[in-house]
Structure 1
């Protein structure tokens, strides 16, 4: 029997339970993976709460991201063999698959080779964060070397990956944090500038930093009415990219009467992970950054699988800088 995290109703971290389950053999196009580490993501908290863009089907598992070793290969799967170290990227619905367990089935299309020399804990912190940053800042070429990039909620794993990605392509990352507690850590993580939004006027600081023009790209997971403040700090012809809904309130569309001419778009990681060609480019980009040392996943804290509820509580506290990882003992 394997262990898996399940829940029977939406709610707080207390609804999560570690249960014994029968995993079985992988079907066509699937792999069974012995999981060594699991990367936690805000999407999983929202899924557990019932506030994600689709609802769980009970009893439900959860989890988008993991690192481990191939344990069994299903029919039709090529390119991977038993014993291969792999990572799991988010390219499926949590109602179909989940990574919170010690042995899990995943679609073969969701696995990528684990880079040599990268530990399971670090590998579990890579793919959601860096693929999200790649798809928004690199894939379409809008953000150029020398451009200022605003990264809000920058102490998250995606925010830190975006800082490193901006530096990797020669752009200038400008990070935000609500309080000054995390300012120095963001500077140490590579941010060229940090704006403390509880103490500073964001549009004014962005104009000051950029010599009056504003940033070319803003990368925001919060959404809600705050996008209007962000828009005031974007340069004419710039872009506002909203990739999350941490603020559940309606997100207004900045209009030309009040703001510089700019383009706005929503973005989701699935744009990359559901397209094999885009995913291949993204994996090559991220692996290049890992191999050269430009990308260094930041793991804030690890928890044992049995303490998964506590790991969710810690993420809800917003105290972390970087990734929260759950480790699995075999």
Structure 2
């Protein structure tokens, strides 16, 4: 299910690929780890966001191209450094909350935020001036749009299985 959740937003809707940067908050969660792998499989660059650097090595080993500890550094500045000041085209966010405005700041012009959870306590602020400047698309996301549609579900399962087979083959050095 975690792979289908990530697939639906990143592949089916956003069509991520080579040259895209994908911000993944809560990257050590099951869906976060799946989003890292799917981003890599599609040729995009996954940027894992985690609160502290304690999980940095685990996230790098899971395939994150970059890991940013959001409580330890200015993560917007880090994203801009990584993306050559362009920002990330996609943010795949299960958190919301007070850092949401920083996600908007870290996006590319007309980037897309998929929000599929509310792990943060409290309200999620809407940074109006940043949104006017960046013109982002903010989409609510859930797995039911994919699992509830036979054609979309079949495409998701086929994509995920193909990716898993490719991953297993490459780890076995076929």
With normalisation by structure 2, the TM-score equals 0.91
**Matching of residue 264 in structure 1 with residue 121 in structure 2:** no
Deviations 1:278-322 (A, max 9, x none): 1010000011011111699xxxxxxxxxxxxxxxxxxxxxxxxxx
- Structure showing the higher helix proportion among its residues: 2
Determine the structure 1 residue equivalent to 2:50: 177
Equivalent pair of 1:154/1:160 in contact (CA under 8 Å): yes
Secondary structure (helix, strand or coil) at the match of 2:91 reads strand
Give the Cα separation in 1 of the matches to 2:27 and 2:52: 12
Q: 1:226 to 1:194 in 2, by over 3 A?
A: same
Residue 160 of structure 1 pairs with residue 24 of structure 2: no
In the alignment, which residue of structure 2 is the partner of 1:72? none
Residue aligning to 1:228:
101
Report SS of the residue matched to 2:130: coil
Q: Which aligned runs of 4 or more in structure 1 are off by greater than 3 angstroms?
A: none
Q: Are 1:246 and 2:116 an aligned pair?
A: no
Whole-Å separation in 1 of the counterparts to 2:38 and 2:120: 25
Pair 1:133 & 2:11 matched: no
SS of the counterpart of 1:173? strand
Contact 1:164 1:294 survives alignment (8 Å): no
2:158 alignment counterpart: 284
Where does structure 1 lack aligned partners over 5 or more consecutive residues?
A: 1-127, 297-330
Q: Give the CA deviation at 1:141.
A: 3.9
- Structure 1 residues 193 and 249: alpha-carbon distance in aligned structure 2, compared to 1, 3 A threshold: same
SS at match of 1:287: helix
CA distance in 2 between counterparts of 1:261 and 1:272 reads 26
Alignment of 1:3-152 (within 5 A): 128-152=1-25
Q: Does 1:197 align with 2:86?
A: no
- The whole-number CA distance in structure 1 between the counterparts of 2:80 and 2:152 is 34
Q: Secondary structure at the match of 2:155?
A: helix
Larger RCO, structures 1/2 (Cα 8 Å, 6+ apart): 2
Asked if the contact 1:150–1:217 (Cα under 8 Å) also holds between the matched residues in 2, the reply is yes
Under a length normalisation based on structure 1, what TM-score does the superposition of the two structures give? 0.49
SS at match of 2:6: helix
Higher Cα radius of gyration: 1
Show structure 2 runs of 5+ residues with no match: none
